[in-house]
């Protein structure tokens, strides 16, 4: 009888450990949550009936556990350091230079992971069993919160319960981040709100508050996750690289921070930053940057640590600040190529030093996926100079009057019926002469990264189009100061300044011009590559798709798009009119255009600087080299 119970308990423990592993590590559960809970309940009952078989590493410790009186202190044999952070690529290069100096050579590679916004914790395993766990505290001593960490379902009580990998070291201290996903945070807040209690402001506070609870059952009821991002004490140490550690921990059932990438050098890291920044809003957890660390452990040793920070790791923080406000209503904006974008009007809120009252909702697919509704309370963020965007809605605090967004049937600018795909998530206006489209094209044309026309903002663009003064980008160049003066009560001085800014924009490079034209898929980088490759717009216009594709970093999609753009009669007309107006002929280019080749690339212009030295000319106008 007793022996049977013991066997049943062991079988259930192994079974539950296996399902935990399948759920948290493999992301491939075999049974429903309900069936899992039944197994767990059976084990709880059996263990209650047979206390003689109690074991600290039973999966039931995750749900049971008596409330603690207070926490003991836990001393960290290897200090839990913080991490220094930078906000610019130049500072990353400086970090890399310091590393090279210390090592006497470049490091063999960097691993990049998201910086998870949670609470740093440590898990001490002895012979594969969780022995202790604690918070960072001041770095040398924190709170011992073993029962609470054991209640975190993604923290295994035993490493590698399925025996899939090598045996763990006798002592292995795993460091990582306890955090809440946005979804768990919402659920926890909804539960608090239902009890009439104060919700947490953000997932990090929610995690910290939860881990401070003396009752581990509370921890179990709020879903906290764990992601490993390093190790402390390890004995014996079989690891040579952090990549190896990540592999080992993954197999052992401790998910490492993800997604992760390995870059051979800092240039590779820097090139990848825009991608990380772009994907960040889609991460299931809050993250305000990335962490970059030397992969090779001997090299880490070689560069060492400052008192508070390691010298082998650095965080790159994205320029983002967030605030919570409400969507009062939603406008539909027409983009350069006719795409319709929902834009939220917000209850004005302070964000990174400015008052924000509008934010992009990107597209209807995102609105649907994130279930953003008119009237919702939302988290808005601002990254650098980019306009703020809505990260997510606080769906847990809905009052009931919020309304789902429905894409419009007709263009808000020209009233023509809109084209839509089957799912009605990509909606666009096909009218080539749509004033909404023209306004978007002009706004982009005037923007900083494009032709950089100071003073030509959205308001003036609207007036110019609505009064029929401008019907293409080329028309801007026939406007004089007296034409502009009556607009928006501008005054003679502002009108002259704007006319001057428009005139000055004629000197922009071919790269800027190509970007400013708003060719689909051609961003600033692709424009630069195309300009460098072809040198003149004529060369670009006569290239076939194959030739376009042979340019540096230009793939088939961009090549096709450029090809289609320059073959379009309307666009050809625009380009000819711009050339006639003298746009993008720098002094040197126009000097050369005497022999009939306008639109110089920056590279050509740079080459021509030699001529400047020889002839003693001074280069005028704005230079891309100087602006970057």
Cα–Cα distance for residue pair 64/7, rounded to 1 Å: 21
Shorter beta-carbon distance to ligand IVH: residue 214 or 260: 260
Q: Cβ distance 236 to 127 under 8 Å?
A: no
Q: Interface residues for ligand IVH in 400-419 (CB under 6 A)?
A: none
Q: What residue has token string 């650095």?
A: 314
Residue placing its CB nearer to ligand IVH in the complex, 47 or 288: 288
Q: How far is Cα 280 from Cα 291, in angstroms, rounded to an integer?
A: 13
Q: How far apart are CA 534 and CA 563, in angstroms?
A: 13
What stretches of 351-434 show up as alpha helix (H) in DSSP?
364-369
Smallest distance, Å, CB 301 to ligand IVH?
13
Report how far residue 154's alpha carbon sits from residue 130's, in angstroms, rounded to the nearest whole number. 13
CA distance 311 to 293: 9
Q: Give the integer Cα–Cα distance in Å for 434 and 178.
A: 51
Judged by CB under 6 A, the stretch of 75-83, 196-204, 353-361, 564-572 that binds ligand IVH is 75-83
Judged by CB, which is closer to ligand IVH: 63, or 313?
Answer: 313
229 or 508: CB nearest ligand IVH: 229
Of 168 and 230, the one with the shorter C-beta distance to ligand IVH is 230
81 part of the interface to ligand IVH, by CB under 6 A: yes
Distances 292 to 72, 93, 272, 321 between C-alpha atoms, Å: 33, 12, 12, 21
Nearer to ligand IVH, 120 or 427 (CB): 120
Q: For residues 306-335, which are near ligand IVH according to CB under 6 A? A: 310, 313, 315
By the rule CB under 6 A, 273 interacts with ligand IVH = no
Residues 93-152 that bind ligand IVH (CB under 6 A): 113, 115-116, 120
Q: 101: part of which helix (H) or strand (E)? A: helix 89-103
Would you count residue 234 as binding ligand IVH (CB under 6 A)? no
Looking at 115, 293, 370, 528, which residue is catalytic?
A: 115
Minimum distance from residue 401 beta carbon to ligand IVH (Å): 38
Quick one: DSSP state of residue 305?
A: B
Residue whose Cβ sits closest to ligand IVH: 120
CA distance 459 to 501: 16
Q: How many CA atoms, within 13 angstroms, populate the side-chain half-sphere of residue 320?
A: 21
Query: How far apart are CB 65 and ligand IVH at their closest, in Å?
Result: 25
The residue within the footprint of ligand IVH, chosen from 143, 144, 173, 177 (CB under 6 A), is 177
Closest CB 113 distance from ligand IVH, rounded Å: 4
Among 68, 83, 162, 352, binds ligand IVH (CB under 6 A): 83
Q: What is the C-alpha to C-alpha distance for residues 251 and 249, in angstroms, rounded to an integer?
A: 5
Strand partners, 179: 225
| Per-residue tokens: 395 | 């769906």
From the list 79-87, 124-132, 535-543, 581-589, the region that binds ligand IVH by CB under 6 A is: 79-87
Binding residues for ligand IVH restricted to 542-571, rule: CB under 6 A:
none
Per CB under 6 A, the segment of 10-18, 76-84, 275-283, 355-363 that binds ligand IVH is 76-84
Nearest residue (CB) to ligand IVH, 310 versus 598: 310
| Number of residues this chain uses to bind ligand IVH (CB under 6 A) | 15
257 is a site residue for ligand IVH (CB under 6 A): yes
- Cα angle, residue 375 at apex, residues 369 and 378 outer, rounded to 5°: 60
Provide the minimum distance between the beta carbon of 57 and ligand IVH in the complex, in angstroms, as a whole number: 26
Q: How far is the CB of 492 from ligand IVH (least distance, A)?
A: 53
Q: Would you say 309 or 477 has its CB closer to ligand IVH? A: 309
Q: From the list 7, 82, 328, 471, which residue makes contact with ligand IVH (rule: CB under 6 A)?
A: 82
Q: Are strands 313-317 and 85-86 parallel, antiparallel or unpaired?
A: parallel
User: By CB under 6 A, what part of segment 411-470 binds ligand IVH?
Assistant: none
Of all residues in the chain, what percent are helix, strand and coil, respectively (each to 5)? 45, 20, 35
Q: Which of 134, 161, 230, 281 binds ligand IVH (CB under 6 A)?
A: 230
Check residue 303 for interaction with ligand IVH (CB under 6 A): no
Half-sphere exposure of 489 (CA within 13 A, CB side): 0
The two tokens of residue 332 are 């539909």
Q: Is 293 a catalytic residue?
A: no
Q: Which of residues 29-58 bind ligand IVH (CB under 6 A)?
A: none
User: E-strand spans in 56-140?
Assistant: 72-75, 85-86, 110-116, 119-126, 129-135
Contact between 175 and 76 under an 8 Å Cβ cutoff? The reply is no
Please identify, using beta-carbon distances, which residue of 15 and 117 lies nearer to ligand IVH. 117
Residue closer to ligand IVH (CB basis): 315 or 344: 315
Half-sphere exposure (Cβ direction) of 610: Cα atoms closer than 13 Å: 3
How far is 545 from 371, CA to CA, in rounded Å? 40
Which residue stretch of 52-60, 77-85, 524-532, 533-541 sits at the interface with ligand IVH (rule: CB under 6 A)? 77-85
Among 284, 152, 156, residue whose Cα is nearest residue 218: 152
CB atoms within 10 A of CB 91: 14
Smallest distance, Å, CB 596 to ligand IVH?
57
CB 52, min distance to ligand IVH, A: 40
Exposure letters 478-490 (e unless 16+ CB within 10 A, then b):
ebebeebbebeeb
Q: At what angle do helices 266-279 and 89-103 cross, to 10 degrees?
A: 140
229 sits near ligand IVH (criterion: CB under 6 A): yes
What is the DSSP track for 35-57? HHHHHHHHHHHHHHH-GGG--TT
Least separation, in Å, of the C-beta of 35 and ligand IVH? Answer: 34
Please, which residue, 258 or 447, has the CB nearer to ligand IVH?
258
CB of 202 to ligand IVH, least distance (A): 15
Total Cβ atoms within 10 A of residue 288: 20
- Integer-rounded Cα radius of gyration of the chain: 30
Q: Give least dist CB 99 to ligand IVH, A.
A: 15
Residue 214 is a binding residue for ligand IVH (CB under 6 A): no
- Site of interaction with ligand IVH (CB under 6 A): 81-83, 113, 115-116, 120, 177, 229-230, 257, 291, 310, 313, 315
Catalytic residues: 115
């Amino acid at each position: 009888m007793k022996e049977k119970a013991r066997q049943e308990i062991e079988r259930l423990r192994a079974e539950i450990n296996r399902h935990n592993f399948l759920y948290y590590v493999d992301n491939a559960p075999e049974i429903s949550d309900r069936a899992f809970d039944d197994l767990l309940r059976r084990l709880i009952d059996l263990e209650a009936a047979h206390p003689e078989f109690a074991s600290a590493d039973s999966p039931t410790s995750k749900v049971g556990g008596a409330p603690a009186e207070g926490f003991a202190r836990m001393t960290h044999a290897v200090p839990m350091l913080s991490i220094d952070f930078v906000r610019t690529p130049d500072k990353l290069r400086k970090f890399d230079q310091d590393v090279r100096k210390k090592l006497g050579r470049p490091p063999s590679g960097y691993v990049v992971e998201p910086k998870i916004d949670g609470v740093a914790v440590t898990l001490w395993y002895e012979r594969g069993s969780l022995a202790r766990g604690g918070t960072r505290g001041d770095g040398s001593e924190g709170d011992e919160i073993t029962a609470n960490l054991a209640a975190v379902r993604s923290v295994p009580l035993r490493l590698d319960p399925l025996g899939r990998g090598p045996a763990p070291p006798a002592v292995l201290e795993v460091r990582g981040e306890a955090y809440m996903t946005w979804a768990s945070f919402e659920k926890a807040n909804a539960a608090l709100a239902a009890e009439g209690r104060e919700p947490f402001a953000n997932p990090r506070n929610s995690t910290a508050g939860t881990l401070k609870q003396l009752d581990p059952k509370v921890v179990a009821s709020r879903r906290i996750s764990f992601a490993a991002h390093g190790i402390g004490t390890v004995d014996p140490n079989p690891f040579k690289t952090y990549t190896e550690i990540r592999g080992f921990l993954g197999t052992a059932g401790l998910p490492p921070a993800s997604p992760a990438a390995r870059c051979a050098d800092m240039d590779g890291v820097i090139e990848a930053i825009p991608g990380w920044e772009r994907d960040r809003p889609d991460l299931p957890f809050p993250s305000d940057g990335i962490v970059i660390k030397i992969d090779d452990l001997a090299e880490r040793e070689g560069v060492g640590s400052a008192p508070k920070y390691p010298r082998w790791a650095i965080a790159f923080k994205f320029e983002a600040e967030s605030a919570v406000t409400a969507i009062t209503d939603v406008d539909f904006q027409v983009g350069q190529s006719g795409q319709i974008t929902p834009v939220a009007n917000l209850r004005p809120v302070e964000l990174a030093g400015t008052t924000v009252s509008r934010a992009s909702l990107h597209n209807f697919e995102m609105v649907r996926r994130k279930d953003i509704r008119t009237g919702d309370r939302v988290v808005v963020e601002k990254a650098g100079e980019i306009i703020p965007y809505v990260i997510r809605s606080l769906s847990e605090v809905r009052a009931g009057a919020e309304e789902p967004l429905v894409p419009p049937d007709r263009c808000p600018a020209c009233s023509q019926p809109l084209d839509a795909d089957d799912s009605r998530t990509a909606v666009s206006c096909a009218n080539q002469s749509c004033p909404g489209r023209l306004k978007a094209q002009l706004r982009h044309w005037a923007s900083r990264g494009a032709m950089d026309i100071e003073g030509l903002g959205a308001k003036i663009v609207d007036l110019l189009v609505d009064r029929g003064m401008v019907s293409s980008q080329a028309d801007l160049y026939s406007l004089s100061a007296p034409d502009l003066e009556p607009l928006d009560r501008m005054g003679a001085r502002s009108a002259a300044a704007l006319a001057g800014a428009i005139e000055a924009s004629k000197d922009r490079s071919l790269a800027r011009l190509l970007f400013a034209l708003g060719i689909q898929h051609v961003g600033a980088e692709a424009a630069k590559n195309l300009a460098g490759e072809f040198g003149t717009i004529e060369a670009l216009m006569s290239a076939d798709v194959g030739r376009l594709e042979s340019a540096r970093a230009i793939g088939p999609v961009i090549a096709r798009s450029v090809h289609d753009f320059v073959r379009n009669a309307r666009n050809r007309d625009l380009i000819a009119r711009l050339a006639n107006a003298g746009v993008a002929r720098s002094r040197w280019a126009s000097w050369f255009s005497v022999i009939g080749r306008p639109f110089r690339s920056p590279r050509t212009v740079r080459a021509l600087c030699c001529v400047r030295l020889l002839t003693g000319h001074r280069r005028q106008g704005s230079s891309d080299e100087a602006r970057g």
